[in-house]
Structure 1
């Protein structure tokens, strides 16, 4: 076997492995989506017939409407909180290097390094002490902690391509640090910030564990209601919701990726 064949075989195994990973990731979607259009009242694949009744139930049932409203409100609140905080954190850590900044970076990134169940349990006991259980504000704060690292990563990526001499030039011409940040730096980072905002939106909508622990009553999220419905009585409404969430996630990630590609160009 010559030297050219070995890299070729290595690439072949890599392609096969990547193909298998992609297949196992997207295969459930090819089962869930058809089941959401089933005419049967039970989850059955392949579906026995075609019907839109489960989407009708999703959008017109009061429980599901309330849960969708809560999830939408929490997701938008998360975007409004996580985006500016993640942007400022990325900018500050980019400006100042050292042991303290490294420690702060680790602390901010910890929500995506620790098991979510640990964060959920800790948040539950903290909220029980301060009275934020079953509240919209509590959900927004908890989801923001999960989303800030993704915003920070996105903005930090944009900062690596930003010429800091532009800030220096603005300061030389009399602009204050705040004016420089708002008028010079932020416009250059708008694509990275927008991508981070979309990722924070998806992070909030996708959360299950934290919502299971701290939401309830009038603040029940869509993911918690899905979990409760699967425990009590499973029907294709769950597939309809899953299909909508999959579509929303694909759209958001596609837009975020397009923003990143556009920024690199």
Structure 2
């Protein structure tokens, strides 16, 4: 974005000042995350930069912690569990969140604000409180210390993200299209599959990706509901920090950062595609 030719000194100062401040805030937020990446290649078993790393000595860098990560059975089990739990909970959260958002988008829905607040409450209530409640509830159902209980708990935490994302997509949805389809004799299921779903699909996918990220990052629920066989990546990282500090944790964190970046890029692509489908140009 370029400034107009008639912009005065004050306007230019404000323009570059706001952007400079935004850049500083971005660096403040992202640098603590990015510093993990070079530390994961440290040849020494330390959580700090060695003199060789600061001098960019090739001998100070190594992939040894990634090799240990891939050879440790507990880490492999954690990755496997995280993938299974995240994929399963994402499917459940996406289905439930999309159905809830479709219902909440109706103008004649009674107690709409109350229902919306109830459905997104898992985002507001502290996770430690939700985890304790889930533990006592799922224990009575025999769902504690197994994969199904953790999948359902992660689905509960991920559903609000799907609801908010799909609801935001439905706000700008042109309902005259569905009314036109109904007037031409199309059934409700046909109208949803051929008209509504293609238009809100980017929002559904974005919400599903947010739910997946939530599942991958969740550690508190697994502490309450998971056993040794349900150990996920965040719980393995937490256990590693308490029991045996090793840069293998940094290698796992780097892989999680890479995965999160890929998901964020996918979300942005979905957002831009949704805008193009609506004829909106950025």
TM-score normalized by structure 2? 0.86
- Answering whether residue 32 of structure 2 is matched by residue 28 of structure 1, we say yes
Between the aligned partners of 2:51 and 2:172, the Cα distance in structure 1 is: 50
Q: Deviations over 1:195-234 (max 9, x none)?
A: 1111111111011211222112111111101100100111
Matched ranges for 1:83-232 at <5 A = 83-232=94-243
Give the number of aligned pairs: 262
Deviation at 1:10, TM superposition (A): 6.5
Deviations 1:88-122 (A, max 9, x none): 11111001445522111101111111211211121
Distance 1:5 1:52, change over 3 A: same
Distance in 2, matches of 1:153 and 1:254, equals 19
CA distance in 1, matches of 2:175, 2:250: 49
Task: Say if 1:147 and 1:199, in contact at 8 Å, map to a contact too.
Answer: yes
> In terms of Rg, which structure is larger?
2
Matched-pair contact (CA < 8 Å) for 1:93–1:101: yes
Runs of 5+ in structure 2 lacking a partner?
1-7, 53-59, 277-282
Q: Match for residue 18 of structure 1?
A: 22
Contact 1:57 1:237 in 2 (8 A): yes
Q: 1:226 and 1:218, CA in 2 relative to 1: closer, same or farther beyond 3 A? A: same
Q: 1:8 to 1:210 in 2, by over 3 A?
A: farther
Name the counterpart of 1:72: 83
- TM-score if structure 1 supplies the norm length? 0.91
Distance 1:189 1:249 in 2: 23
- For 1:140 and 1:261, locate their aligned partners in 2 and report how far apart those are by CA, in whole Å: 31
| Structure 1 gap segments, 5+ residues each | none
